[in-house]
Amino acid sequence: MQVLTIVLSILASVISGMALFFMQRFFKRKAKKDEERDEMKRKENVLILKSINAVGKLTYADAIAIRDGKTNGEMREAMESYAEVKDELYEYLLEQNARK
């Protein structure tokens, strides 16, 4: 009878340990996925802000060009900024779609 009690006690400890191990592994994986998702959201927000800034520069340069009747260095800088952000956004979208 005493041997049965010891065996049951050991078995309960092993089952409890395995349950804790699997729960810990699950939560570590979930935390890692959450970190990756947060990093991608951060990158997405940075790209959105860069896009807004590039469009703002382009709009400002257009307004100056219309007012003065000629293009200038501001237009070139705005167009380069817009092209750079457009390329970054394209790369980001490719990366996002490749993950799915």
Domain limits, the chain:
2-99
- pLDDT tens across the length of the chain (100 residues): 788 899 899 999 999 999 999 999 999 999 999 999 999 899 889 999 999 999 998 888 888 888 888 777 778 888 888 899 999 988 888 888 887 6
User: Tokens representing 84?
Assistant: 């750079």
User: What pLDDT, on a 0 to 100 scale, did the predictor assign at position 68?
Assistant: 83
